[in-house]
Amino acid sequence: MFENIGRKHIISVVILVAVIVAFPQINKLWLESTEEVRSSLITSENNTHYGLPSEWENTQVICIHFPIEDVTSNMTASNFTDGITYFDVSGSEILINESSEALVNYSEGRDSGVCVGGFENYTAGFNFMLEATNVTNGDIEIGYDDGEWGPYIHTIAGLNANDLTGNFSGAYWSLYHNGITSDVGIGDLVMLENSVIVWEIATW
């Protein structure tokens, strides 16, 4: 009886030692496998999708950049002040591998925020904006007024441009389309199949 107990004890010790010895290699393989499913970013600077997940190339994307100093904890924008968060069309977060992220030089003021992309076949900019941000389950609610010139966006994710104060006369949400300031409002913006629209705070 005691001989059987001793044999079982030895076998248990051998198994435990084997697991301890193998753990670093198992952990390494696990990390490598999870890294493989992470997305890489587009690193060609002349691409309108520069800095976006590679699977979004030639699709429709919306990005919102938040000035960290103006974001407070009661705003859902506070969820997006640590780097850039990417969501796909289903609202699932896309993880980015670090080596790819290191190759992208984010311009000043655009190093934090949120992007939602991978969409197709939208033509109306305002409709696209509302439906794309809606996949985040309320994290990016849009506040706007209907005016003579169409919808005027004043609030995104709780950050109301009209409430901002500082060394400026006023602030507003500025719209960019494929890298340049849009010459029309979001209500008149006609989407292309590869449109990337960007919102960020501007002042005067």
What is the secondary structure of 31-98 as a DSSP string? HHHHHHTSB-B---TTSTTTTSBGGGTTSEEEEEE--GGG--TTSGGGGG-SSEEEE-TTSPEEPB-H
* pLDDT number for residue 106: 82
The pLDDT tens digits for 129-178 are 999 999 999 999 999 999 888 999 999 999 999 999 999 999 999 999 99
**Residue 11 binned pLDDT confidence (cut-offs 50, 70, 90):** low
* pLDDT number for residue 52: 96
Q: For residue 14, what is the enclosing H or E element?
A: helix 2-36
Is the pLDDT confidence value at 21 over 80?
no
- The per-residue pLDDT of the chain, averaged, comes to 87
CATH number of 54-203: 2.170.130.30
* pLDDT number for residue 109: 75
Q: Where are the domains of the chain?
A: 1-37, 54-203
The pLDDT tens digits for 60-102 are 999 999 999 999 999 999 999 999 999 999 999 999 888 878 8
pTM to 2 decimal places:
0.80
* pLDDT number for residue 25: 52
**Residue 42 binned pLDDT confidence (cut-offs 50, 70, 90):** very high
Residue pair 103/97 in contact by the 8 Å Cβ criterion: no
Rg of the chain over CA atoms, in angstroms?
Answer: 24
* pLDDT number for residue 97: 84
**Residue 7 binned pLDDT confidence (cut-offs 50, 70, 90):** low
The percent of the chain in helix, strand and coil, each rounded to the nearest 5, is: 30, 30, 40
Share of the chain above pLDDT 90, in %: 70
**Residue 22 binned pLDDT confidence (cut-offs 50, 70, 90):** very low
Query: What token pair was written down for 27?
Result: 């952990």
Rounded to 5°, angle at Cα 58 from 52 and 61 = 50
Rounded to 5°, angle at Cα 115 from 121 and 80 = 155
